[in-house]
Structure 1
Amino acid sequence: MEKWKKDYLKEILKDYPKMEDYYLERKAKLLLHNNQQSNKELKDKKLLISISLDRQLINLERNQKTISLCLNQATEETKEIIKRLYMSEKQKVNLDLVADQVFLSKRQVIRLRDAFFEELAEHLGI
C-alpha cells in the first residue's frame, strides 16, 4: 500500500473517536448559517439541501460508518492494535510497545494492522 494511503487512513482513524463531535459541529454551523435567512419556508428547504449535500458531513458520516464496520469485522487482536495505535489519548505509542501490550510479535502487529488498512481502504474506495 502506498505511503499516502496509509497516512490518510491513520489520520481518519485518529479522528474516529471525535467524528460524532465533528459531525454535530458542522451541522450546527449549517444551521447557524441558514438561520440568518429571512423567508421561513425557503430557509427550511435550503437547510435540508445544505445538510444533505454538504461534502464534509457526507465524508464524516461515511468515514465513521466504514471504520465502525471494519472494526466490527476485525479480530479482537486487530481491534486492540488499531485502538492502541491510533485511537488512544496517548499518541506516543509505537509498534514495539503495542506488540508488548497485546502479546504479539512486532511483525504480527504490522501484518494485522496492514490487513486492517487494506480492508478499510477497500471499503472507502481508495
Structure 2
Amino acid sequence: MEKWKKDYLKGILKDYPKMEDYYLERKEKLLFHTKETQQHAYANTKNKKLLISISLDRQLINLERNRKIISLCLDNATAETREIIELLYMNNKQKVNLDLVADQIYLSKRQVIRLRDAFFEELAEHLGI
C-alpha cells in the first residue's frame, strides 16, 4: 500500500473517536448558517443565497460514511487487530509505537505490522481508495 494511503487512513482513524463531535459541530454550524441566511433573505430579497441542506452537505455525508465504515471494519476485525488499531491510533493518552504495542499484546512486531496492514487494506477497500 502506498504511503499516502496509509497516512490518510491513519488520519481518519485518529479522528474516529471525535467524529461524532465533528458531525454535531458541522450540523450545528449549518443550522446556524441557515437561520442567519433566512433573516438576511427576508431583509433583502434581491440577495438570495443558495442554502445547503443538512442532508446534502458533503462534509456531513463523509463524516457519517467514514464513521460507519470504520465501525464495520473494527467489528469484523479480530480482538488483537482491534487492540492494535485502538492503541496505535485512537489512544490520545500516550504516544505508542509498534514495539510497545507488540509488547502490550504479546505478539511480535512483525505480526502487529501484518495485522495492521491487513486492517488498512480492508478499510481502504471499503472506503474505495
RMSD: 1.5
SS at match of 2:53: helix
1:26-105 → structure 2 map (5 Å cutoff): 26-36=26-36, 37-38=38-39, 50-105=53-108
How does the TM-score come out when normalised to structure 2? 0.88
Distance 2:99 2:61 in 1: 36
Deviation of 1:93 after TM superposition, in Å, equals 0.3
AA in 2 matched with 1:125 = G
The offset of 1:90, in angstroms, is: 2.9
Q: Name structure 2 gaps, 5 residues minimum.
A: 43-49
* Equivalent-residue separation in structure 1 for 2:24 and 2:58 (angstroms): 14
Specify the code of the residue in structure 1 equivalent to 2:6. K
Give the secondary structure class of the aligned counterpart of 1:118: helix
* Distance apart, 1:100 and its partner CA: 0.2
Report % sequence identity: 82
C-alpha distance in 2 between matches for 1:90 and 1:2: 28
Equivalent position SS for 1:89 = coil
CA displacement, residues 59-115 of structure 1 (integer Å, 9 cap, x when unaligned): 100000000000000000000000000000135100000000000000000000000
For residue 50 of structure 1, report the CA deviation from its aligned partner. 1.6
Any gaps of 5 or more consecutive residues in structure 1? 41-45
Q: Which deviates further from its counterpart, 84-93 or 112-121?
A: 84-93
Larger gyration radius, structure 1 or structure 2: 2
Match of 1:122 in 2: 125
The answer as to 2:114 corresponding to 1:111 is: yes
1:5 equivalent in structure 2: 5
**Distance (whole Å) between structure 2 residues aligned to residue 105 and residue 90 of structure 1:** 23
